[in-house]
């Protein structure tokens, strides 16, 4: 069978609301072996208007919610159109994660805004979107979705660890892919940095100046989620952070530096614990947290695995790359969501297509 190629634009908006990641990617498959390349990229920060509008949706009325869903889709489509012109791109289609507003899989509920029809109308390309709802309907967590990409595109690494809004990991175990969310990362740390007029704690400079609070660290580590089986399907969302993390932080009167220092230690401890019993191997680390030098030092102190930090494009755009890949699998009607990862009743092929 001859090699087949796909040129796809992937869109990713993470829980930390730092901006929209756009990645133009090329995929090829030959004898069931996949290869990928990130060709052009751009991150577009959200304006205060969009940040506030998105943050307000949790308590908005139905009409405003749906209007924002459509407006945000038109906004994304316009950004894609500009990106195509700027880089003189010829893409086959767009694959969009959207932005998560609600993620409560225990209620069979997950909602990502950014209507695919609106995106398609602005960029004149087919769009694949709404990747999570089928898995949730099948009893799964609807997350994480990246592991199928880890399995097929990054097989040379024993573990793929992403440090975005949340830390999640995936790896092969007994012939199947295992993946789960470990703990919050940037969704908590960026919020603390923003109180000090910074988008994020660059290189962990604030955390490095802080003192560890053993009492708060112990309370973080005693949260019930961390007592679940390490390799069971489990995912985290913003609602969980508000209920479990923010409520603890509010009980302590400590400096933001001390808080960041303590939370870095918490992240490192939980990552180390989740991988402690696994055979030593290579960990590919991506996501914004990979740039936090202090956090990475903390993680290295809690694991004997080999930490590998790749090139900047892979660090920043791996999720956008893999959502583009999920779109390819959807267009091929092949499995793009694994029951071993999400706990769904079966492997499935999620995503809605707007032509």
pLDDT at 16 over 90: no
DSSP 161: E
Strand 109-113 to 99-104 pairing: antiparallel
Q: Domain 4-142+317-354 sits in which CATH superfamily?
A: ATPase, nucleotide binding domain (3.30.420.40)
Residue 230, φ and ψ in degrees, nearest 5: -60, -35
Q: Are 13 and 165 in contact (CB under 8 A)?
A: no
Cis peptide before 144 (omega within 30 of 0): yes
Note the pLDDT of residue 230. 63
> With b meaning 16 or more CB within 10 Å and e meaning fewer, what string describes 334-355?
eebbbbbbbbbeebbbbbebbe
| Rg, C-alpha atoms of the chain | 20
pLDDT at 144 over 90: no
> With b meaning 16 or more CB within 10 Å and e meaning fewer, what string describes 167-193?
bbbbbeeeeebbbbbbbbbbbbbbbbb
Note the pLDDT of residue 84. 98
Note the pLDDT of residue 344. 96
Mean pLDDT, residues 164-179? 92
DSSP 302: T
Give me the residues paired with residue 160 across strands: 170, 284
Strand 127-129 to 352-354 pairing: antiparallel
Give me the residues paired with residue 354 across strands: 127
Note the pLDDT of residue 2. 79
Note the pLDDT of residue 151. 96
- What is the tens place of the pLDDT at every residue in 252-275? 999 999 999 999 999 999 999 999
Q: Are 264 and 204 in contact (CB under 8 A)?
A: yes
Q: Are 30 and 1 in contact (CB under 8 A)?
A: yes
pLDDT at 238 over 90: no
Domain 159-304, what architecture?
A: 2-Layer Sandwich (3.30)
Note the pLDDT of residue 143. 86
The CA distance from 355 to 237, in Å, is: 31
Residue 227, φ and ψ in degrees, nearest 5: -100, 0
pLDDT at 142 over 90: yes
Note the pLDDT of residue 231. 65
DSSP 306: E
Say what angle helices 293-301 and 256-275 make with each other, to 10 degrees.
40
Note the pLDDT of residue 18. 81
Helix (H) or strand (E) holding 297: helix 293-301
DSSP 243: I
Handedness of CA 126, 132, 134, 135 (dihedral sign): positive
pLDDT band at 14 (very low <50, low <70, confident <90, very high): confident
pLDDT band at 158 (very low <50, low <70, confident <90, very high): very high
- What is the tens place of the pLDDT at every residue in 291-347? 999 999 999 999 999 999 999 999 999 999 999 999 999 999 999 999 999 999 999
Note the pLDDT of residue 201. 96
Residues in CB range of 242: below 8 A, 6 or more apart: none
Q: Output the average pLDDT for the chain.
A: 95
pLDDT band at 171 (very low <50, low <70, confident <90, very high): very high
Q: Within the chain, what is the greatest distance between any pair of CA atoms?
A: 64
The per-residue DSSP string of 76-129 comes to HHHHHHHHHHHHT---SEEEE--EEEEEEGGGTEEEEE--HHHHHHHH-S-EEE
Q: What is the dihedral of CA 87, 89, 93, 96, to 10 degrees?
A: -10
Whole-number Cα distances in Å, 302 to 87, 268, 270: 42, 6, 9
pLDDT band at 1 (very low <50, low <70, confident <90, very high): low
- What is the tens place of the pLDDT at every residue in 19-77? 999 999 999 999 999 999 999 999 999 999 999 999 999 999 999 999 999 999 999 99
pLDDT at 98 over 90: yes
Q: Name the segment(s) of the chain with CATH classification 3.30.420.40.
A: 4-142+317-354, 159-304
**Residue of 238 and 40 predicted with greater confidence:** 40
């Amino acid at each position: 069978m001859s090699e087949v190629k796909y040129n796809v634009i992937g869109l990713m908006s993470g829980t930390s609301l730092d901006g929209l990641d756009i990645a133009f990617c090329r995929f090829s498959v030959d004898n069931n072996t996949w290869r990928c390349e990130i060709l052009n990229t751009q991150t577009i920060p959200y304006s205060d208007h969009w940040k506030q509008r998105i943050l307000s949706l949790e308590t908005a009325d139905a009409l405003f919610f749906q209007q924002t869903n459509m407006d945000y889709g038109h906004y994304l489509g316009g950004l894609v159109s500009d990106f195509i012109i700027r880089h003189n791109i010829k893409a086959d289609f767009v694959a969009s994660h959207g932005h998560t507003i609600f993620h409560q899989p225990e209620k069979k509920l997950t909602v990502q805004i950014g209507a695919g029809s609106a995106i398609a109308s602005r960029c004149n390309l087919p769009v694949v979107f709404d990747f999570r709802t089928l898995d949730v309907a099948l009893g799964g967590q609807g997350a994480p979705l990246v592991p199928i990409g880890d399995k097929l595109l990054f097989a040379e690494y024993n573990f793929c660890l992403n440090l975005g809004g949340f830390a999640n990991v995936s790896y092969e175990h007994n012939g199947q892919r295992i993946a789960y969310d470990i703990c919050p990362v940037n969704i908590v740390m960026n919020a603390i940095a923003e109180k000090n007029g910074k988008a994020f704690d660059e290189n962990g400079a604030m955390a490095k100046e802080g003192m560890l609070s053993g009492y708060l660290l112990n309370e973080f580590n005693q949260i019930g989620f961390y007592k679940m089986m390490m390799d069971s399907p489990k995912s985290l969302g913003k609602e969980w952070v508000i209920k479990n993390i923010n409520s603890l932080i509010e009980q302590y009167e400590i400096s933001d530096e001390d808080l960041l220092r303590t939370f870095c230690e918490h992240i490192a401890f939980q990552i180390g614990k989740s991988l402690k019993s696994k055979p030593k191997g290579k960990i590919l680390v991506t996501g914004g947290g990979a740039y936090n030098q202090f956090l990475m030092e903390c993680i290295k102190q809690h694991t004997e695995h080999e930490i590998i930090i790749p090139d900047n494009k892979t660090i920043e755009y791996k999720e956008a790359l893999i959502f583009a890949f999920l779109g390819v699998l959807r267009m091929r009607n092949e499995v793009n969501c694994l029951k071993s990862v999400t706990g769904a009743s079966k492997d499935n092929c999620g995503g809605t297509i707007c032509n």
